[in-house]
Amino acid sequence: MEPLTGRKAEIVAAARDLLEAGGPEALTMRAIADRLGIQAPSLYKHFPDKDALEAALVAAGFVEQAETFAAVTRSRNPLPALARAYRAWATAHPHLYVLMTSRRLDRDSLPEGVEAAAAAPLLKACGGDPNRARAAWAFAHGMASLELANRFPPDADLDAAWRAGVDALQAPPTTPRST
């Protein structure tokens, strides 16, 4: 998939506005069409169905996320900075974040290489160990997703929990006992 242009891009932009402003139930074919001064069925001249439109929305989100993360890689000791950036992005775009992470990934709808690009900063921060990088990714996604879903008790200190996880995951393993 190459980047979107023209009407397709306008549609995705309208969809994104609606999603971020009103959550998933505001993301309606008719609402998207309305916002473009168009009738809902006309959208099907550009996307085969709502799922494909959402996939494009998700792909755009991934690109943006990858750029954001690449920007913080520069710092020495990048893991805490990456964690902060991850959490910040998720809470800045909660509905888009949920959409991006809850749909089963369709790799064909993603621009070539975005997946690797988004993963690269974290992989480098983890010394090239993909297992550690995946664990760190899972931790960050888990924290963000549980926070967005209101899963932590109201008195939880989320900053402290993030710190605890980041500290644990960046330290080299000292006494592995899990076999």
Stretch that binds a second copy, among 30-38, 39-47, 52-60, 154-162 (CB under 8 A): 154-162
The verdict on 50 binding DNA (CB under 7 A) reads: yes
Mark 39-78 with x for binding to a second copy (rule: CB under 8 A) and - for no binding.
Answer: --------------------------------------x-
Give the residue with the Cβ less far from a second copy, 42 or 164. 164
Name the minimum Å distance from CB 57 to DNA: 13
Instruction: Kindly write down the DSSP assignment for every residue of the chain, as one continuous string.
Output: -PPP-HHHHHHHHHHHHHHHHH-GGG--HHHHHHHTTS-GGGGGGT-SSHHHHHHHHHHHHHHHHHHHHHHTTTSSSHHHHHHHHHHHHHHHSHHHHHHHHHSPP-GGGSPTTHHHHHHHHHHHHTTT-HHHHHHHHHHHHHHHHHHHTT-S-TT--HHHHHHHHHHHHHSPPS-----
The verdict on 9 binding DNA (CB under 7 A) reads: no
Residues in the site for a second copy, rule: CB under 8 A?
Answer: 77, 79-80, 83, 98, 101-105, 115, 129-132, 134-135, 137-143, 145-146, 149-153, 156-158, 160-179
